[in-house]
Amino acid sequence: MDDMAIDTSVAERLQDLVIDSPDVSSFLAELCELSAASLSESMGLDVTCAITLQRRHRTSTAGWSSEASRACDEIQHNFGEGPCLHAMNTGTTVLVSDTRTDMRWPEYGSAISTIGQFSVLGVPLALDEGAAAALNVFAPVPNAFDATAIGLAETFARHAEKSLRLAVRIGVRQQLADDLRAAMESRTAIDLAAGIIMAQNRCTQEEALRILAKASSGRNKKLRLVAEDLVKSVAASAPSTHFTP
């Protein structure tokens, strides 16, 4: 398969992943599987992939194509250093030709060689400000990645980072929308409960909210849950929020 065909095929499949994946986690899992399958086919060698993602100063293994690649990536996080973290932090591709003899991260190399991974390639993925990632490729033989294989991985990563940026943006916006919906639903229950208290006690809204807050504190229960209990005691059903487009 020539480079142009690889470029076109990968780009199209990554676009489909962004469209079809229900959330960022699913996208990352499928991205790792696609990465492993594409690189394995191109190299003529079975490799596995994982993605390290850093957001809000938290770093984690965000996706993997196999349990072996997940283990290799998480072992690196436990040590706090390694080729993939270095690639992500420096923005440069990092190659470990033989995990048994590379002296830059000897403890990490020794750990993953015991589970049968002898070559590692870390390729940075450029994301929006405040986030960073790396595509991590693991091979079961030493010296697996020659110049051609490294070029293929970097080409794949260039396509992947565009799709990953889009998926992360969509995920952030979806989380904001979910947070807003949850806040509005919570507010609905509290407002309804305050209305009930106002009617029962002939008091102001401010006084009703104080009564709710006191009940929440006395029961050691969240204000929203106390409000929902009160509404259900009157209406025989939990309050619901209706969004009008």
207: CB partners within 8 A, 6+ apart: 198, 201
pLDDT digits (tens, 9 = 90+) for 5-49: 445 566 666 655 554 555 667 777 888 888 899 899 989 999 999
CATH fold label, 3-175: Beta-Lactamase (3.30.450)
96 vs 169, higher pLDDT? 96
pLDDT digits (tens, 9 = 90+) for 106-160: 999 999 999 999 999 999 988 776 778 899 999 999 999 999 999 989 988 888 7
Same fold? 3-175, 182-235: no
Domain boundaries of the chain, sorted by first residue: 3-175, 182-235
Specify the pTM.
Answer: 0.63
Radius of gyration (Cα) for the chain, nearest Å? 25
CATH fold label, 182-235: Arc Repressor Mutant, subunit A (1.10.10)
Across the chain, what does the average pLDDT equal?
Answer: 79
pLDDT digits (tens, 9 = 90+) for 163-178: 777 666 655 445 444 4
CA dist 188 to 89, 177, 215, 223, 241, Å? 44, 16, 18, 12, 6
DSSP SS3 for 61: strand
